[in-house]
Amino acid sequence: MTTPRTLFDKLWSRHVVSERDDAALLYVDRHLVYEVTSPQAFEGLRLAGRQPWRRDTVLATADHNVPTTSHREVIRDPLSRQQVDQLTRNCDEFGITLFPLGDRRQGIIHVVGPEQGATLPGMTVVAGDSHTSTHGAFAALAFGVGTSEVEHVLATQCMWVDRMRTLYIELRGALPHGVTAKDVVLAVIARLGASGGTGCAIEFGGDAVRALSMEARMTLCNMAIEAGARVALVAVDETTLAYLEGRPQAPRGARWDAACRYWRTLVSDPGAAHDASLAIDVSTLRPMVSWGTSPAQTVAVDDRVPDPAGESDPVRRVQMQRALDYMALQPGTPITAIRPDRIFIGSCTNARIEDLRAAAAVLRGRRVAPTVRQALVVPGSGLVKAQAEAEGLDRLFIDAGFEWREPGCSMCLGMNDDSLQPGERCASTSNRNFEGRQGAGGRTHLVSPAMAAAAALAGHFTDISEG
């Protein structure tokens, strides 16, 4: 009898080209590229006279700094335009497939990959972006990397990775009304802390995960990095296969059948030993809202802003006070008394069709509160946008007072014109509430799409689990 193996071990050992000490040279099956973290990598190839090892594994799109307003094919900001143009030139020169602005397939790289079937179970996936953990929802071993590693992967099709510990998080029970995968992952991060997953590959399992759609599993894996875990995983099941069947880059016919036979083995064997494990009963969770400047600084919507005086660790206490000062919040303030100036629905965390449906369902027939200066919805890709329009979701957003935009990363990081002004407060479905993340001096509260929509209507956070 063979030793039971974890999903992580199966994926890892399948990709080892060679080993040294506590690291392995892993082969990379899919490399996702975008405009901001790739120009210096292509320049490096050019200077060294190197070519991509396997250009058919590389897929590129422009997402981080692109405008989200209409008629954006000519970008006004010269620096953004230069970066997007450079991506086009690099893809031309090195023979890489690019979904440019104007192509319906363009969008946020972590939305585009799965949508195209370019992310498949059993793959290793690399991108010069920390939220590459998203692709782990497909039982793919996916790593966010820096630009030098982008160049290394382009040139060698491989990367050296330190061996990781595995952390199994079992999610049990049924999600209460108004509680989504976003709330679950925020609760997990609050529990682990911002560095609790460092050096770990997190596998999410349990009946609550099995009940989630692929979109929701992507939300879960997307934010593992906010607990420090570079890799997140969900085992393959029928939901995975149903999502992938018929996608443009998924295998077809007999090859599909063969692939499914292998992919069904991409689960942790019963009795496989993880380095650590944790169980959470999701039926006790509440809708979550971040109050501070780290995603771990998150509480339930019916809770209050915490008091640093209650924190015993001096470094953490100072950090909490700094966060309160930056966020202009007083300890003890009810979360439902916090009033956002802007609403952002979008990002690689929450800009898929299901996220837009959830927000639109809350908005139906109602209007954004007059105290809200701007409410933005930015679909994750051109195809998500088209699907939403086919379902009439765009009308629900627009009728409620939202701006319906073109796809991109937008206000998640504010590299384009969509950013907060100093002091502005935002209810955001994105992934990071760091100081200045959405614009210098801007204040971010991380929430689910349904919560963002409810806050837009009420003008303050509200307990959407009621009613």
Restricted to residues 417-456, the positions that interact with other proteins (CB under 8 A) are: 422, 432, 434-437, 440-441
**Contact with other proteins (CB under 8 A) among 72, 86, 308, 387:** 86
**Contact with other proteins (CB under 8 A) among 72, 100, 103, 130:** 130
The per-residue DSSP string of 421-455 comes to: PTT-EEEE-SS---TTTTSTT-EEEE--HHHHHHH
Positions in 185-214 near other proteins (CB under 8 A): 194-195, 198-199
**Contact with other proteins (CB under 8 A) among 144, 340, 401, 407:** 144
**Contact with other proteins (CB under 8 A) among 174, 258, 279, 361:** 258
Dihedral of the CA atoms 207, 211, 217, 223 (nearest 10)?
A: -50
User: Least distance in Å: CB of 442 to other proteins?
Assistant: 11
**Which residue lies nearer to other proteins by CB, 163 or 177?**
163
Q: Which range of residues in 81-89, 327-335, 382-390, 392-400 is near other proteins by CB under 8 A? A: 81-89
Q: Would you say the C-alpha torsion 60, 132, 390, 362 has a positive or negative sign?
A: negative
Binding-site size for other proteins (CB under 8 A) equals 76
Site track 382-421 with other proteins (rule: CB under 8 A), x = hit = -------------------------------xxx------
| Alpha-carbon span 438 to 411, nearest angstrom | 6
| 408 CB-near residues (< 8 Å, 6+ apart) | 62, 63, 64, 66, 67, 68, 107, 108, 378, 416
Would you count residue 128 as binding other proteins (CB under 8 A)?
yes
β-pairing, 23-27 vs 16-20, is antiparallel
Would you count residue 89 as binding other proteins (CB under 8 A)?
no
| Alpha-carbon span 385 to 387, nearest angstrom | 5
Q: Which range of residues in 115-123, 273-281, 337-345, 364-372 is near other proteins by CB under 8 A? A: 115-123
| Alpha-carbon span 143 to 250, nearest angstrom | 21
Of 183, 204, 203, 193, give the one whose Cα is nearest residue 228.
193
| C-alpha distances out from residue 129 to 117, 149, 223, 262, Å | 19, 11, 12, 28
Would you count residue 319 as binding other proteins (CB under 8 A)?
yes
Of 123, 131, 298, 137, give the one whose Cα is nearest residue 205.
137
55, exposed or middle or buried, with CB in 10 Å at 0-12, 13-18, 19+?
middle
CA 332, chain centre distance (Å): 31
For residue 350, the SS3 value is: coil
Cβ atoms 114, 214 nearer than 8 A: yes
User: Least distance in Å: CB of 379 to other proteins?
Assistant: 21
| Alpha-carbon span 166 to 7, nearest angstrom | 10
Would you count residue 261 as binding other proteins (CB under 8 A)?
no
Positions in 212-241 near other proteins (CB under 8 A): 225, 228, 230
Site track 329-368 with other proteins (rule: CB under 8 A), x = hit = ----------------------------------------
| Alpha-carbon span 274 to 278, nearest angstrom | 10
**Which residue lies nearer to other proteins by CB, 251 or 459?**
251
**Contact with other proteins (CB under 8 A) among 6, 65, 374, 429:** 65
Structure tokens at 441: 């001096």
Would you count residue 176 as binding other proteins (CB under 8 A)?
no
Q: Which range of residues in 16-24, 276-284, 327-335, 384-392 is near other proteins by CB under 8 A? A: 16-24
**Which residue lies nearer to other proteins by CB, 77 or 463?**
77
Positions in 262-291 near other proteins (CB under 8 A): 262
**Which residue lies nearer to other proteins by CB, 174 or 328?**
328
Residue with tokens 């627009």: 398
| Alpha-carbon span 149 to 136, nearest angstrom | 19
Site track 31-60 with other proteins (rule: CB under 8 A), x = hit = -----xx-xx--x----x-x--x--x----
**Which residue lies nearer to other proteins by CB, 193 or 459?**
193
